[in-house]
Amino acid sequence: MLKRILGLLGWLGVALVFAAVAIRFLKPEYQQYYNGLAIAGLVCTLLYILSQWREIGQSFSGRQARYGSLAAASVLVVLGILVAINYLSNKYNKRWDLTAARQFSLSDQSRKVLQDLKEPVRIRVFARSQEFERFRDRLDEYTYHSKQVNVEYIDPEKRPALAQADGITQLGTVVFEYAGRKEKVTSDSEQELTNGLIKVIQGRQPKVYFTQGHGEKDTVSAERSGYNSIGGALTSDNFVVEKLVLAQATEVPADADVVVIAGPRTDFLAPEIDLLKAYLARGGKLFVMLDPVLKPDSPQPAQLQALLKDWGIDSPNDIVLDVSGMGRLIGTDESVPVAASYPAHAITQEFSLLTAYPLARSIAPIEGGANGRTAQKLIETGPRSWAETDLKSLSGGQPAKMDGSDKPGPVSLGVAVTGPATNAPAPKEPPKPGETPKQVEARIVAIGDSDFASNAALGVQGNRDLFLNAVNWLAQQENLISIRAKDPEDRRITLTADQERLIFYLTVLIVPGLVILAGVQTWWRRR
């Protein structure tokens, strides 16, 4: 009876393994099921084999025992030797890249960085499972060149806790961890990866300055309108957050990676604007958040608006209203425009969360750009929104409605712009021959609202991530080294429709058919 059950177990194991394979192909998303099935199948098969071993064991008794134990011992010795060989060959392997472009080989610069590694580096790749191969093609070479490198591949959809622990907001992020420090890279190119490695080894923390003196949001205030949550988020993202009183400064500090102007209530003075202009000319990064002026008679921040205009950014005097009802989902009214889809830009790449902007003004690119700088839209409201220019009637308490002078939705709420630095500091070392000299770039992100990142509004899903993405994009340090991308050689195939059809018949029908025909012929002859 027991024997029959054990016999069934063997077949059950086989069936389970087959089922696991079938599910793997038909429904790849059911990973937990097919993994479970495969393990169950493995266990059943092992049990079956064990049950058969009892019989084998019986034959080992008596006269044959000596042979049996000798054989078993020799098997163990051979197995041990082979495992040892493989263990060593995994540690001291040699690779030859046979592609003509040597596309899987690392450049000398990367190899040098890897060979100088003194402490272990842990690399975690957060991407969809199907994307792992793209990163593996590159990172396998990093582990080959240094035993200190350890790579882990994590699918955030399957292991969300790990992704959360590293604060991953974007798929395709690579986290470098070295001596307790972290550095994130969102690319699989050798240049970006090696630069991320260098940065995490050097351990420089980028500095973010928040301007003070015009009623801007305060990074230590815990009030509803305060910024201490977002300040904490920046700190945990490896930034140093400091305050900057421009009126007392002679220049923007040289170590500033990003300067944030978070919702000033009064306009900047001309000397302050000059400091910012000089900062941008040396390749500075500026994050401007301008709130709408609600009292119709109060002055607009004209100086800041003029600075933005210089960079191709239009910031008209209006307030954006949104009657789509989407705001009701998060408990707000039409004065809080909501964005759910974003024009393509590095900041909002793979970003699909809802963001909400309490009391916002529209910020849009100027058609055709200004001074050769063209801004790109980042955030757009839905179609059932508009930019209300008649602030007087609004403050008079009349219900808002769209009329002729208003700009219909979708309304742009935020833009980003880059431009070459006109007065970049000279590089410390002259570029090596064959390398292009590094382009220093100034960047500006402008958003028509500062409240979206305040303590009160950070509850909205995407607000925090959008703010951090914007600062991260701005703070992207200039690459420390430049590596020419090794693209595979261009070896394409062009076929006419006829040729393609010919290949189809040849490969799918004719060749296999001929071979099978030959088989039938042999069979016929043998009869």
DSSP-derived 3-state class of residue 36: helix
Task: State which of residues 2, 26, 100, 344 lies at the interface with another protein (CB under 8 A).
Answer: 100
Cβ neighbours, 10 Å, residue 306: 13
- φ, ψ (nearest 5 deg) of residue 338: -125, 140
The interface region with another protein, picked from 28-36, 226-234, 360-368, 457-465 by CB under 8 A, is 28-36
Encoded tokens for 375? 């801004």
- Say which residues have a Cβ less than 8 Å from residue 257's Cβ, sequence separation at least 6: 206, 207, 208, 239, 285, 474, 475, 477
The interface region with another protein, picked from 80-88, 253-261, 353-361, 460-468 by CB under 8 A, is 80-88
Cβ nearer to another protein, comparing 56 with 302: 56
Q: Name residues contacting another protein, limited to 469-488 (CB under 8 A).
A: 487-488
In which order are the strands placed within the sheet that holds 258-262? Answer: 240-245, 207-212, 258-262, 285-289, 441-447, 412-420, 376-380
CB of 6 to another protein, least distance (A): 15
* Residue among 169, 128, 166, 247 nearest 471 (CA): 169
Cβ nearer to another protein, comparing 2 with 497: 497
Task: State which of residues 58, 59, 164, 189 lies at the interface with another protein (CB under 8 A).
Answer: 59
CB of 68 to another protein, least distance (A): 8
**Cβ–Cβ under 8 Å, residues 264 and 271:** no
Encoded tokens for 329? 């989902």
CA distances from 32 to 23, 28, 133, 152 (A): 11, 10, 21, 19
The interface region with another protein, picked from 91-99, 174-182, 239-247, 357-365 by CB under 8 A, is 91-99
Cβ nearer to another protein, comparing 147 with 158: 158
CA distance 165 to 177: 13
For residue 383, say if its preceding peptide bond is cis, omega within 30 degrees of 0. Answer: no
Q: Name residues contacting another protein, limited to 190-229 (CB under 8 A).
A: none
CB of 154 to another protein, least distance (A): 8
* End-to-end C-alpha distance for the chain, whole angstroms: 46
Q: Name residues contacting another protein, limited to 109-138 (CB under 8 A).
A: 129, 132, 137
Binding residues for another protein, how many (CB under 8 A)?
A: 76
Angle at 161 between CA 158 and CA 166, to 5 degrees: 115
Task: State which of residues 58, 79, 222, 308 lies at the interface with another protein (CB under 8 A).
Answer: 79
Task: State which of residues 5, 165, 294, 506 lies at the interface with another protein (CB under 8 A).
Answer: 506
Cβ nearer to another protein, comparing 93 with 436: 93
Task: State which of residues 51, 103, 228, 374 lies at the interface with another protein (CB under 8 A).
Answer: 103
Task: State which of residues 93, 248, 250, 436 lies at the interface with another protein (CB under 8 A).
Answer: 93
- Say which residues have a Cβ less than 8 Å from residue 415's Cβ, sequence separation at least 6: 313, 363, 364, 365, 375, 376, 377, 378, 445, 446
CB of 164 to another protein, least distance (A): 17
Question: Residue type at 332?
Answer: T
Using rule CB under 8 A, residue 309 touches another protein: no
**Cβ–Cβ under 8 Å, residues 312 and 319:** no
CB of 284 to another protein, least distance (A): 33
The interface region with another protein, picked from 61-69, 238-246, 338-346, 347-355 by CB under 8 A, is 61-69
Q: Name residues contacting another protein, limited to 30-49 (CB under 8 A).
A: 31, 34-35, 38, 42, 45
Q: Which residues of 509-527 are buried (b: 16+ CB within 10 A; e: fewer)?
A: eeeeeeeeeeeeeeeeeee
Cβ nearer to another protein, comparing 9 with 276: 9
Encoded tokens for 247? 């009126």
Cβ nearer to another protein, comparing 8 with 495: 495
Encoded tokens for 51? 């049950």
Task: State which of residues 1, 4, 96, 299 lies at the interface with another protein (CB under 8 A).
Answer: 96
Task: State which of residues 6, 14, 353, 480 lies at the interface with another protein (CB under 8 A).
Answer: 14
Cβ nearer to another protein, comparing 161 with 493: 493
* Residue among 33, 9, 126, 111 nearest 483 (CA): 111
Q: Name residues contacting another protein, limited to 229-288 (CB under 8 A).
A: none
Phi-psi region of 221 (alpha: psi -120 to 50; beta: other; left: phi over 0): beta
Give the position of tokens 């990676």. 257
Q: Name residues contacting another protein, limited to 141-180 (CB under 8 A).
A: 150, 152-155, 158-159
Task: State which of residues 8, 54, 58, 74 lies at the interface with another protein (CB under 8 A).
Answer: 74
Cβ nearer to another protein, comparing 72 with 222: 72
Task: State which of residues 75, 222, 294, 302 lies at the interface with another protein (CB under 8 A).
Answer: 75
- φ, ψ (nearest 5 deg) of residue 183: -145, 135
Cβ nearer to another protein, comparing 90 with 248: 90
Cβ nearer to another protein, comparing 18 with 427: 18
